[in-house]
């Protein structure tokens, strides 16, 4: 049996993950862990607007207790966790989410059109090949810091669509 | 190396495959059957709106006249949007780049900003160029854009937040696909994947949608 490991902390690593993700034997390696929480699939698309960006990742709670994502911060700019909602009239909006609970043995997926981190007031645009530093604060696991590679939108979409099914 | 002659069986399979190709071509000549498109088929088609807004180059753009004869993907969004708007544009751009030029050249993409206060012509052009230089960016006053939205049976955009700079816009998140009959039979909501666009755009281009 061949086991492939990959790390999503570098652009090349992410592309390698995308390439091998179709393989049935992929051991997913978190980009960072804290307590019972593991962060996977971190990536940010290159900015189309100079001062705005987004960030996606996966949080796996392997613990026996629920944990709560309380805060996202980044030296790149203001970071805020958003969800996307559509009202009865058909207006779709992003709404700030102060905190998200992750049940024991469950996974939080950030994805386009769903939970995502919005970067605003970026001091510099996110350029492909860059790494954007991010710190997440959890109620139980505490702080976890990692670097999210900046990819093209298509690379981001491909990476996120190849995640294991929720 | 000697190439073996085709057997009767393989010729039969070839004939069957050719017939299938012909049948498939015939299918493309008709409008897609229910369920064939991956977009959300509307219960009734939306006529192409007649409006004129201003391009990022400052020129008037008569939407109906300028897009006549093309499959036109119309979207209302804004450049401070971090998620839905850029993902729609990126997905469409990536698929158009991969489609045969004879198909992609029959598609126009038009994005109308719902945030004319912050989306200057330069900012909107730069943002669209990050996806595809051919994408058309249009601006108008808030009232003009909301009038267009209403004419397409879409809700007006809503400013969310009190700041002059730090606010978000609520808006219709679907892409309307107008076909060559100048009607939109199908829309593409947020979450439409590149595989869905790659499946549907050739059908939208090739199908005979009849006339208005």
Minimal C-alpha gap between B169 and chain A (Å) = 7
Q: Which chain B residues are closer than 8 Å to A50 by Cβ?
A: 126
Examine the pLDDT at A153 and tell me if it is beyond 50. yes
Provide the sign of the torsion angle of the four alpha carbons B28, B31, B33, B34, taken in this order. positive
pLDDT one-digit tens code per residue, B57-90: 999 999 999 999 999 999 999 999 999 999 999 9
How large is the angle between the packed helices B194-206 and B8-29, nearest 10 degrees? Answer: 80
Mean pLDDT of B157-162: 88
- Name every residue whose Cβ is closer than 8 Å to that of residue A166 and which is 6 or more positions away in sequence: A107, A109
pTM: 0.83
> What kind and span of H or E run contains B84?
helix B84-98
Per cent of chain B over pLDDT 70 is 84
Examine the pLDDT at B43 and tell me if it is beyond 70. yes
- Name every residue whose Cβ is closer than 8 Å to that of residue A81 and which is 6 or more positions away in sequence: A69, A72, A96, A97, A98, A100, A115, A116, A117
> What kind and span of H or E run contains B46?
strand B40-47
* Contact with chain A for residue B177, Cβ under 8 A: no
- Least confident segment among B58-67, B129-138, B183-192, B201-210: B201-210
How far is residue A130's CA from residue A117's CA, in Å, rounded to a whole number? 17
Look at residue A28 in the predicted model and tell me its pLDDT: 85
Look at residue B23 in the predicted model and tell me its pLDDT: 40
Please count the other Cβ atoms lying within 10 Å of the Cβ belonging to residue B159.
14
Q: Which one of B75, B80, B82 makes the best mutation probe of the A interface by having the most chain A beta carbons within 10 Å?
A: B82
pLDDT one-digit tens code per residue, A39-95: 999 999 999 999 999 999 999 999 999 999 999 999 999 999 999 999 999 999 999
Examine the pLDDT at B24 and tell me if it is beyond 90. no
Minimal C-alpha gap between B106 and chain A (Å) = 22
Examine the pLDDT at A34 and tell me if it is beyond 50. yes
Look at residue A117 in the predicted model and tell me its pLDDT: 97
Q: Which chain B residues are closer than 8 Å to A87 by Cβ?
A: 170
How far is residue A46's CA from residue A150's CA, in Å, rounded to a whole number? 6
Give residue B29's pLDDT band: very low, low, confident or very high (50, 70, 90): low
Identify which of A46, A54, A89 has the shortest CB distance to residue B83.
A54
Closest CA to A119 of A103, A129, A133: A133
Q: Which chain B residues are closer than 8 Å to A118 by Cβ?
A: 82-83
How far is residue B127's CA from residue B170's CA, in Å, rounded to a whole number? 19
Phi and psi angles of residue B24, each rounded to the nearest 5 degrees, phi first:
-65, -40
Give residue A26's pLDDT band: very low, low, confident or very high (50, 70, 90): low
* Contact with chain A for residue B97, Cβ under 8 A: no
Q: Which one of B40, B83, B168, B195 makes the best mutation probe of the A interface by having the most chain A beta carbons within 10 Å?
A: B83
* Contact with chain A for residue B98, Cβ under 8 A: no
Identify which of B87, B157, B191 has the shortest CB distance to residue A153.
B87
Look at residue A166 in the predicted model and tell me its pLDDT: 62
Look at residue B32 in the predicted model and tell me its pLDDT: 75
Q: Which one of A44, A91, A118, A157 makes the best mutation probe of the B interface by having the most chain B beta carbons within 10 Å?
A: A91
Look at residue B211 in the predicted model and tell me its pLDDT: 73
Residue positions counted in chain B: 212
- Least confident segment among A46-60, B7-21, B71-85, B196-210: B7-21
How large is the angle between the packed helices B84-98 and B194-206, nearest 10 degrees? Answer: 60
How far is residue B138's CA from residue B173's CA, in Å, rounded to a whole number? 17
- Is the ipTM reported for this complex over the cut 0.85? no
Give residue B140's pLDDT band: very low, low, confident or very high (50, 70, 90): very high
How large is the angle between the packed helices A11-20 and A153-161, nearest 10 degrees? Answer: 40
Look at residue B34 in the predicted model and tell me its pLDDT: 60
Q: Which chain B residues are closer than 8 Å to A44 by Cβ?
A: none
> What kind and span of H or E run contains B195?
helix B194-206
* Contact with chain A for residue B134, Cβ under 8 A: no
Chain Cα centroid distance, residue B31? 17
Residue B19 or residue B86, greater confidence? B86
Examine the pLDDT at B7 and tell me if it is beyond 90. no
């Amino acid at each position: 049996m061949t086991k492939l490991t990959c790390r999503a902390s570098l652009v090349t690593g992410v592309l390698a993950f995308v390439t091998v993700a179709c393989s049935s034997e992929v051991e997913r390696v978190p980009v960072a862990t804290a307590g019972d929480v593991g962060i996977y699939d971190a990536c940010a698309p290159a900015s189309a607007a100079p001062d705005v960006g987004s960030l996606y990742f996966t949080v796996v709670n392997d613990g026996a207790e629920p944990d709560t994502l309380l805060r996202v911060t980044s030296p790149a700019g203001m970071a805020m966790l958003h969800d996307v909602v559509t009202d009865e009239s058909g207006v779709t909006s992003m709404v700030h989410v102060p905190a998200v609970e992750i049940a024991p043995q469950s996974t939080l997926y950030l994805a386009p059109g769903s939970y995502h981190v919005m970067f605003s007031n970026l001091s510099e645009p996110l350029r492909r090949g860059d790494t954007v530093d991010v710190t997440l604060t959890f109620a139980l696991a505490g702080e976890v810091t990692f670097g999210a590679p900046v990819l093209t939108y298509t690379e981001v979409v491909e990476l996120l669509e190849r995640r294991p099914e929720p | 190396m000697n190439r073996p002659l085709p057997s009767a069986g393989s010729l039969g399979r070839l004939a069957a495959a050719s017939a299938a190709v012909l049948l498939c071509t015939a299918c493309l000549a008709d409008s897609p059957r229910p369920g064939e498109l991956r977009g959300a088929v509307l219960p009734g088609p939306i006529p192409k709106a007649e409006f004129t807004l201003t391009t990022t180059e400052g020129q008037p753009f008569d939407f109906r006249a300028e897009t006549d004869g093309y499959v036109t993907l119309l979207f209302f969004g804004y450049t401070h949007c971090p998620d839905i708007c850029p993902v729609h544009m990126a997905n469409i751009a990536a698929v158009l780049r991969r489609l045969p030029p004879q198909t992609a050249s029959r598609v126009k993409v038009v994005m109308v900003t719902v945030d004319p206060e912050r989306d200057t012509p330069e900012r909107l052009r730069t943002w669209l160029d990050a996806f595809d230089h051919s994408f058309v960016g249009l601006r108008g006053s808030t009232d003009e854009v909301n009038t267009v939205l209403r004419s397409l049976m879409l809700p007006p955009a809503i400013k969310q937040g009190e700041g002059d700079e730090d606010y978000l816009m609520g808006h219709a998140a679907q892409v309307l696909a107008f076909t060559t009959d100048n009607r939109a039979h199908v829309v593409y909501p947020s979450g439409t994947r590149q595989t869905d666009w790659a499946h549907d755009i050739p059908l939208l281009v090739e199908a005979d949608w009849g006339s208005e």
